[in-house]
Structure 1
Amino acid sequence: MTKTPAATPAAAPDLAAATAMWSDYSQSRRHQDAVDSDYTVEHFGDTAKLADELLQIVLSGTKRATAELVSEFTHRGAPLPRIGSHWIACDGAGVPRIVIRSTQLRIDTFDGADAAFARAEGEDDRTLSSWQIQHRLYWERTSAARGADWSELDEIVFEYFAVVWPPEHAD
């Protein structure tokens, strides 16, 4: 019996390139409104393939929401997002591609997802049913990878965002 190879994890972000992207974005905003220097650099998903797939649906304009377990932020030692906070999304190779700004946030449990949020996440067929199936599988997998059990009662950050940089991808 052949063992299926493990999925390739996303590469570590290129922090020098992310800093340069942030500088370009900040310079573009200088005369409009202040941009703080507080941002994170990360990717969507837990594998290079998933990071690329999810980034593509953001770039297409379909995906404008994301959900992450509060416990994942805690595990990484990362602060929870806040309205107005930014993050630089990288592709699966770690290359920074876009700057995202959080526009709406709430913390709830699995049952807190609704059809509108599933549609805004833009994944699969964009229905609540497929959102529930895919996110259950994802959180079971990512929780197990860090030695935890996932529960539908775990807190989830439901985040809506806008793409703000570079100009060719900005909302």
Structure 2
Amino acid sequence: MEPREPLAPFLLAFPGPLRDRLVAAVLSGEKVSTTGLLCEYELEQEELPPVGERSALIDSDGREVAVVEVTEVRVLPLGAVDLQHALDEGEGYTSVAEWRAGHERFWHSEEMREALGDPAFTVDDGTMIVAERFRVVERLG
């Protein structure tokens, strides 16, 4: 195997049970989309990933387990998320309302609020989100 260039990390949630479930869903092919907050990118002064960018999917132990490639990036208000995106997150959601409730629990969690530096952070229909689609191009390890 040829050595490859180091890849930026593709991180889902925080290390722990949720990340473990999400990484497993990516590896099984169930999860082909993810959602982040635009304000996270702004806070980190991070550019949105361009289509075609490849990253290393990281598990809870910090290991690179797969190479994923971004296939689509959309910035839209939270209230505009559609059912296909919710289904493609691979977390078993069957409606946008169910998807949103799960994401609000995460975004309103103490851990997320601490990461954002805002103990009272909340989302609403107008909160801008980043909806990413991706595909696994290589499994590692």
Alignment of 1:61 onto 2:21: no
Higher relative contact order (CA 8 A, sep 6+): 2
Query: 44, 50, 54: which one pairs with 2:18?
Result: 50
TM-score (norm 1): 0.71
State the one-letter code of the partner of 2:57. Answer: A
Aligned residue pairs, count: 136
Percentage of identical aligned residues: 25
Quickly say closer, same or farther: Cα 1:110–1:21, change in 2 above 3 A.
Answer: farther
**Distance between the aligned counterparts of 1:22 and 1:162, measured in 2?**
21
Query: 3, 6, 9: which one pairs with 1:41?
Result: 9
**Distance between the aligned counterparts of 2:92 and 2:3, measured in 1?**
31
Question: What is the aligned partner in structure 2 of residue 101 from structure 1?
Answer: 69
Two-structure CA RMSD over aligned residues (Å): 2.4
Which structure is larger by alpha-carbon Rg, 1 or 2? Answer: 1
Quickly say closer, same or farther: Cα 1:161–1:94, change in 2 above 3 A.
Answer: same
Alignment of 1:151 onto 2:119: no
TM-score (norm 2): 0.84
Please say if residues 43 and 90 of structure 1, whose CA atoms lie closer than 8 Å, have aligned partners that are also in contact. Answer: yes
Query: 122, 139, 160: which one pairs with 2:90?
Result: 122
Please say if residues 143 and 150 of structure 1, whose CA atoms lie closer than 8 Å, have aligned partners that are also in contact. Answer: no
Alignment of 1:164 onto 2:129: no
User: Which residues of structure 2 form unaligned runs of 5+?
Assistant: none
**Distance between the aligned counterparts of 1:46 and 1:114, measured in 2?**
25
**Distance between the aligned counterparts of 1:21 and 1:111, measured in 2?**
45
User: Which residues of structure 1 form unaligned runs of 5+?
Assistant: 1-19, 27-36
- Larger % of strand: which? 2
Superposed counterparts of 1:1-40, under 5 Å: 23=4, 39-40=7-8
